[in-house]
Amino acid sequence: MSHAKENPEKKENKILRYVTDFLLIIVANSVYALGVNVFVSPNNIAPGGVTGVSVIISSITPIPVGVLIAGINIPLIILGFIFLNKKIMIKTLISVAVLSVMTDAVMVNVPVYHAEEGSGILAAIFGGLLMGFGLGLNYMRESTTGGTDIINKIINRFRPTVRLGTLILITDSFVVAFGFIVYRDLDVIMYAVISIFVQSKIIDMMVYGGQECKFMLIFSERYQEICERFLKNNMGVTLLKGEGAYSKAERQVIAAAVHKSDYVRMRRVIKEIDPRAFVVITGASEVLGEGFQKLE
């Protein structure tokens, strides 16, 4: 039985995309590490997630932040390979490795900002800006910096009605509470909250345009393949019967609501299956029902 060979142009585009992803992941984690080394770590600001835990532990032990980031992420990445998309986890593994090296070996020689009393808010804002940019660029290339992102995605997979934003808030709250126990300084904790808030806003602007979800109408002759890929990724789709006003030809239209964390990936899937597909995408400020926020 012979297998159809992959189109050379399509293969070349895939290679180019992988190379682009890899280069941008390096840039993303370099910027993220810059935010950690220049603004966050020198001022004992714990900006949530594994990075926040690493900054706290590093402040009371001789272990570097980058080593801690790598060490804490190893068991989480193993869990990610078991329960989550393998392609995303490979990128996450590369991302964590680059972040650790950048944090401990490359960015250690850059000048740091030591906030004077009462000026920690500047460190929190600029640290949040750089880290948010790094995280946003990672998400745009279907990667993450590991850590609590992995935990949150695993929980969301088994409990899809629990919103990712809620999970992130809960996990970050634990990190901030841990920071208060160690530092015993309310100002530092408030700066951490500011940094987390700035990060979230930058990520929203870069990746999601501030929208909670995306609603997609997909017109394609290859609608069955697109539906299969959506279902394979545990996303519900609805087929609507349509008719061309001019041609009178009947066609199937795919309607799907997509979480903001999955939007970039599913747009790529559509392009991969049918580059000629006609897609209408609009923001949905709120989606209620199975797989999204509970209808109350």
d(C-alpha 251, C-alpha 241), whole Å: 6
Same domain, 132 and 149: yes
Which residue in this structure is represented by tokens 């009947």?
250
Residue 1 lies in a domain: no
Same domain, 204 and 230: no
Who contacts 31 (Cβ-Cβ below 8 Å, separation ≥6)? 130, 131, 133, 134, 137
d(C-alpha 43, C-alpha 256), whole Å: 45
Structure tokens at 26: 């390096």
In the prediction, which pLDDT does 194 show?
92
Give this prediction's pTM: 0.70
Domains held by the chain: number: 2
Domain that includes residue 253, residue range: 213-284
Residue 2 lies in a domain: no
Q: Which of 2, 31, 219 is nearest to 107 (CA)?
A: 31
Same domain, 174 and 235: no
Same domain, 167 and 75: yes
Same domain, 47 and 70: yes
How big is the CA angle at 46 (ends 43 and 112), to the nearest 5 degrees? 30
Same domain, 27 and 138: yes
Same domain, 102 and 162: yes
99-142 residue pLDDT tens: 999 999 888 788 889 887 767 899 999 999 999 899 888 888 87
206-225 residue pLDDT tens: 765 544 678 889 999 899 99
Question: Could you please report the per-residue DSSP string of the chain?
Answer: ---PPPPHHHHHHHHHHHHHHHHHHHHHHHHHHHHIIIIIGGGT---SHHHHHHHHHHHHSS--HHHHHHHHHHHHHHHHHHHS-HHHHHHHHHHHHHHHHIIIIIGGGS----PPTT-HHHHHHHHHHHHHHHHHHHHHTT----THHHHHHHHHHH-TTS-HHHHHHHHHHHHHHHHHHHH--HHHHHHHHHHHHHHHHHHIIIIITT-SEEEEEEE-TTHHHHHHHHHHTT---EEEEEE-TTT--EEEEEEEEEETTTHHHHHHHHHHH-TT-EEEEEEES--BSTTSBPP-
Q: What is the CATH number of the domain that holds 219?
A: 3.30.70.120
Give the residue from 157, 192, 208 where a domain finishes.
208
Fill in the amino acid letter for 211.
Q
Rg, the chain, Cα only: 21
Same domain, 169 and 84: yes
Same domain, 154 and 262: no
Mean pLDDT by 10 residues, the chain (296 residues): 62 84 93 93 88 92 93 93 87 92 86 80 93 88 82 78 69 87 87 89 70 82 91 87 82 86 84 91 72 61
In angstroms, the first-to-last Cα distance of the chain is 54
In the prediction, which pLDDT does 129 show?
94
